[in-house]
A and B are shown apart, each in its own frame.
Chain A
Amino acid sequence: MSALTAHRERPTKEKIGVFVCHCGRNIATTVDTKRVVEEILKHPAVVHAEDYDYVCSSPGQELIEKAIKEKRLTGFIVAACSPSLHETTFREVAERTGLNPYKCEIANIREQDSWVHEDKEKATEKAIKLTKSAVEKVIRNEELEPIKVGLYKKALVIGGGIAGIRAALDIADAGFPVVLVEKGSTIGGHMAKLAETFPTLDCASCILTPLMSAVAHHSNIRLLTLSEIMDVEGYLGNFHVRIKKNPRYVDPEKCNLCNDCVDICPVTVSSEFDEGLSLRKAIYIPFPQAVPSSYLIDLDACLGMNPITCGKCAEPDICGPEAVNFDDQTEIIEEDIGVIVVATGYELYNPENIGEYGADKYLDVITSLQFERLLSPSGPAVGIPKRPSDEKIPKRIAFIHCVGSRDERHQPYCSHICCTYSAKHALLFKELVPDADIYSFYIDIRAVGKNYEDFIRRVQEEAGVHYIRGKVSRIYEQDGKVKIFGVDTLLNKRIEIEVDMAVLALSMVPAHGIEDLASKMRIQIDGSGFLQELHPKLHPVESATSGIFLAGAAQSPKDIQDTVAQASAAASKALGILTQEKISHIPTVATVDTDLCSGCRLCISVCPYGAIKLIDEKAEVKEVLCEGCGACVSTCPSDAISLRNHTDEQVSSMLKALVGEI
């Protein structure tokens, strides 16, 4: 006994408690938790130790609280699962009981022990060493407070499609200023091009244009069209963003949409808004409801903005309000931003990549978005689709599903919306051309949204569409007809049919330039090129960079319903930050002893977060950027940098505990 007492002479004033978790059978099967308790009690600083089934449960947490109060603990260890799971849980227990949260440490005896070993004896020895090592650390831990920094209470939304519009309006309606940046000349995105939307068949414009107008008139929204993100610096709450605003050459404030400039303009090019199915002038407005409500000049098409080459649109008798401004310049706009929502949307896969379907060669093989324009009452066919080659109304039409989707040679993923929009196309077409024969070639019908199955059933029953299960192998034109090689895998018959027009349901791919933007913002891209969420279930709208959120088809192919839901989710996460007065950051950051620092800059070169700068020839850590990785600490040749609560003394005593010297 005397030996034990001698051993228990306490060289420290610290009174540490240890709680060993069974994690059900996860730990207890491989680790003798009772022995860990016995052994750790021999440590001079440990005044209390016990084991329990689930320390993270409410009764488990109460055990800790009770011990802290009764034994006047100055710190404690939970020997349990990885700190990434429950460190926060237990630090909150400390805080509620009046202990500094940084006086709680985790010994990971699950992932680093019980899960990876079989020999119970040795696993128990290891658990004892891991726990002892954590005790050695905690007795040397400083009491720390989270670092608090201010934030700019302003949001940046990138992308002016339905996702960006929804997110911007939600944030602006909550009372915070929003900068909405759109690359194109108008907001509205792809939704503005759609005829009607499934499954309710409400007209896309009727839903979208009021929202576009709300953006235009919202006092909290600064709308920047024809604009791109140049660079993004800073961190959560304190981003500094530079935006390049390209010239429009028409002042939206003065333009009254009289159309005289368009009438006089001698240049015609194909219209992007109509997917190449109609013509527009070099001075144009993509569609009448565009926001901002103003013309713009397409400089690539314009003959030249001076009286010698053309310049007709700017003549005073043409543009009365003098809105046309040939001297308009590119502008660099700088904004201080607290949070960012990325909603850059999608584009259709280039059909030229699928040679066997011939969309690049045959006029009457068109894309689903082109068909959408043909169906639109405001589109080039004024609502009754005509085939591009001879302007005749097609009587036999084929819809081809999975064009570029679910295909290893193109996009391996399912594009999620094509089954349902192809059904919608069939139904709308049947309503316009009742005697039409409609074929729909599919692999599987994936109509996985609320009320979508009912919609598909309605199309099958009402429109009499011939649904043929089998992927199309080849499409070509012969004698003015579109010929399709297909198969009916249910009847086991190969099929060759002739139709007047074929519509390709092309896959959704991320918008052009997404990689570039992602690298500027230090956010990740997934294997398919879409923006990567932090966790599919725990953090579905968060990027890996704090303060940057994702919405809409930029994150994965999705329909309008899911897009707006995700946009509102992203806005709500953004508001969760904007409504805070200060932002908290971990205090376990690097600190520099300026007396020892020689200004060699090695730390700057290894810091992955750009957190270190040289000021007066001495390294200085911008604490809010530091993530406490320790790269600078181990690099510094002068031993001038240390990490709070990971000091050399702590690390070496932890190692001594692990190798059995303590």
Chain B
Amino acid sequence: MNELAERVKEISDQNVYSCYLCGNCSAGCMFTDEMDTLPHQVIALVQMEDKDALEKNTSWICASCFVCSVRCPRGLDVAAIMEALREIKIRERGFRKIDLRKIKDIEKLPQIAITAAAQKFTW
């Protein structure tokens, strides 16, 4: 297993190699219009250890609605994988506590980013 996939597994307990790229997660996702890359493609990038996976906006558009997780035929919690990607990106900044009052243009920030920033201290 590649390092990126290993890191995703540590955080989400999901093995991206279980994915057979059927696209069900992308087919059911309501917000793909806003995404530069479809969810199943992001998983394909992680399988190939392509760090671009962390630069795509997909995981930040993801609203954690869990439709993808509910319908994944390989039983993958795709939303948890998206969360793992957010965590990997956020943790690059180290253990800095966020101060909501100091965030500029907070209304432009995806809500899920705030959640992810809070969750980085889970572990």
A214 at the interface (CB under 8 A from B): no
- CB atoms of A492 and B38 under 8 A apart: yes
- CB atoms of A471 and B73 under 8 A apart: yes
Contact of B27 among A407, A408, A409, A470 (CB under 8 A): A470
- CB atoms of A494 and B29 under 8 A apart: yes
Point out the residues of chain B lying under 8 angstroms from A469, CB to CB: 23
- CB atoms of B75 and A495 under 8 A apart: no
Say how far B111's CB is from chain A's closest CB, in angstroms: 23
B51 at the interface (CB under 8 A from A): no
A487 at the interface (CB under 8 A from B): yes
Q: Please judge, given known A-B contacts A471-B27, A472-B27, A494-B27, whether A489 and B22 are in contact too, CB under 8 Å.
A: yes
Chain A 478-498: CB-based contact to B (< 8 A → 1; otherwise 0): 000000011111001011000
When C-beta atoms are compared, the residue in chain B nearest to A488 turns out to be B23
Contact of A409 among B29, B32, B67, B75 (CB under 8 A): B75
B86 at the interface (CB under 8 A from A): no
- Number of chain B residues whose Cβ lies closer than 8 Å to a Cβ of chain A: 22
Say how far A340's CB is from chain B's closest CB, in angstroms: 37
Chain B 74-94: CB-based contact to A (< 8 A → 1; otherwise 0): 110000000000000000000
Q: Please judge, given known A-B contacts A356-B71, A443-B22, whether A474 and B27 are in contact too, CB under 8 Å.
A: yes
Q: Please judge, given known A-B contacts A471-B23, A473-B67, whether A408 and B73 are in contact too, CB under 8 Å.
A: yes
Point out the residues of chain A lying under 8 angstroms from B26, CB to CB: 470, 487, 489, 494
Chain A 114-156: CB-based contact to B (< 8 A → 1; otherwise 0): 0000000000000000000000000000000000000000000
- CB atoms of B27 and A473 under 8 A apart: yes
B24 at the interface (CB under 8 A from A): yes
- CB atoms of A489 and B21 under 8 A apart: yes
- CB atoms of A409 and B28 under 8 A apart: no
A406 at the interface (CB under 8 A from B): yes
- CB atoms of A487 and B73 under 8 A apart: no
A402 at the interface (CB under 8 A from B): yes
Give the contacts of B1-34 with A (CB-CB under 8 A): 20-29, 32-33
* Separation of A406 and B71 alpha carbons in the complex (Å): 12
- CB atoms of B22 and A470 under 8 A apart: yes
* Separation of A92 and B90 alpha carbons in the complex (Å): 72
Most interface-central of B24, B25, B29, B71 (chain A CB within 10 A): B24
Most interface-central of B20, B40, B71, B75 (chain A CB within 10 A): B71
When C-beta atoms are compared, the residue in chain B nearest to A493 turns out to be B38
Most interface-central of A406, A471, A485, A486 (chain B CB within 10 A): A471
* Separation of A512 and B23 alpha carbons in the complex (Å): 32
* Separation of A495 and B38 alpha carbons in the complex (Å): 12
When C-beta atoms are compared, the residue in chain B nearest to A496 turns out to be B27
- CB atoms of A408 and B67 under 8 A apart: no
Contact of A407 among B32, B33, B37, B73 (CB under 8 A): B73
B115 at the interface (CB under 8 A from A): no
- CB atoms of B27 and A485 under 8 A apart: yes
Give the contacts of A401-424 with B (CB-CB under 8 A): 402, 406-409
* Separation of A408 and B73 alpha carbons in the complex (Å): 5
Contact of B28 among A402, A485, A489 (CB under 8 A): A485
Q: Please judge, given known A-B contacts A408-B75, A494-B27, whether A489 and B40 are in contact too, CB under 8 Å.
A: yes
Point out the residues of chain B lying under 8 angstroms from A402, CB to CB: 22, 73
* Separation of A154 and B73 alpha carbons in the complex (Å): 46
Say how far A476's CB is from chain B's closest CB, in angstroms: 12
- CB atoms of B38 and A487 under 8 A apart: yes
Point out the residues of chain B lying under 8 angstroms from A485, CB to CB: 27-28
Point out the residues of chain B lying under 8 angstroms from A473, CB to CB: 24-25, 27-28, 67, 71
Point out the residues of chain A lying under 8 angstroms from B119, CB to CB: none
- CB atoms of A494 and B73 under 8 A apart: no
- CB atoms of A443 and B38 under 8 A apart: no
When C-beta atoms are compared, the residue in chain A nearest to B21 turns out to be A489
Say how far B48's CB is from chain A's closest CB, in angstroms: 15
* Separation of A488 and B26 alpha carbons in the complex (Å): 9
Q: Please judge, given known A-B contacts A471-B23, A473-B27, whether A409 and B73 are in contact too, CB under 8 Å.
A: yes
- CB atoms of A471 and B22 under 8 A apart: yes
Q: Which 9 A-B pairs have the closest CB atoms?
A: A473-B28, A470-B23, A473-B27, A407-B73, A408-B75, A471-B22, A487-B23, A487-B27, A489-B23
10 A-B contacts (beta carbon < 8 Å): A402-B73, A408-B74, A470-B23, A473-B25, A485-B27, A487-B24, A487-B40, A489-B22, A492-B37, A494-B27
Q: Which residues on A are within 8 Å of B, measured CB to CB?
A: 356, 402, 406-409, 443, 469-474, 485-489, 492, 494-495
Q: Name 14 extra pairs, CB < 8 A, besides A487-B24, A487-B40, A492-B38.
A: A356-B28, A406-B73, A407-B73, A408-B72, A471-B23, A471-B27, A472-B27, A473-B67, A486-B23, A487-B26, A487-B38, A489-B21, A489-B26, A495-B27
